[in-house]
């Protein structure tokens, strides 16, 4: 399940990154080549893709536990204490993801009905990245917690900080 979810998320991120690169390349060509017409909406849509890419990447990073880690504080602890610390960290990450999701919902509701001038797209398409990113962060923490706590799960995968390496 985890591997399928990671692959799907990677595919979405690769698609967003590809679209972002194409739009930015078009902007560069339009600025420097007189026969390429400049399009106003490309900058705004590129910015939206960047926001989406950051939030999807944050969710992916927390799912794979590839975020920064202050291991100096944990390395000297006993395995049992280290396990407890990792569980507490995942609980904190889950709460932060849920808070990001809830804040994203409130932020998106305030932007509901607003239309972008340059692209003509609803503003909520960029605002909703906070909802998805927060949800992915919380979901990643829940999956990690499940693998740490439930019997028969690969605890070494989660507790050694080398997820997928």
Phi/psi of residue 122, each to 5°?
A: -65, 140
Q: Give per-10-residue mean pLDDT for the chain (165 aa).
A: 89 97 95 90 94 96 82 83 90 96 95 89 94 96 90 54 43
Q: Can you tell me the distance from the alpha carbon of 162 to that of 55, in angstroms, rounded to the nearest whole number? A: 22
Beta strands per DSSP E along 62-108:
none
- What is the pTM assigned to this prediction? 0.84
Nearest to 42, CA basis, from 54, 18, 25:
25
């Amino acid at each position: 399940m985890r591997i399928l979810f990671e692959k799907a998320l990677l595919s979405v991120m690769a698609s967003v990154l590809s679209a972002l690169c194409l739009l930015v390349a078009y902007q560069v060509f339009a600025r420097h080549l007189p026969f390429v017409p400049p399009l106003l909406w490309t900058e705004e849509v590129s910015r939206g893709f960047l926001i989406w890419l950051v939030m999807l990447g944050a969710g992916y990073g927390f799912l794979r536990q590839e975020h920064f880690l202050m291991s100096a504080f944990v390395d000297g602890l006993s395995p049992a204490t280290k396990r407890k610390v990792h569980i507490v960290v995942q609980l904190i990450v889950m709460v932060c993801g849920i808070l990001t999701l809830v804040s994203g919902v409130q932020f998106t509701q305030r932007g509901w009905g607003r239309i972008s001038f340059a692209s003509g797209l609803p503003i909520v398409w960029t605002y909703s990245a906070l909802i998805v990113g927060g949800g992915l962060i919380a979901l990643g923490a829940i999956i990690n917690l499940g693998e740490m706590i439930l019997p028969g799960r690969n605890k070494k995968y989660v507790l050694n900080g080398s997820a997928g390496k």
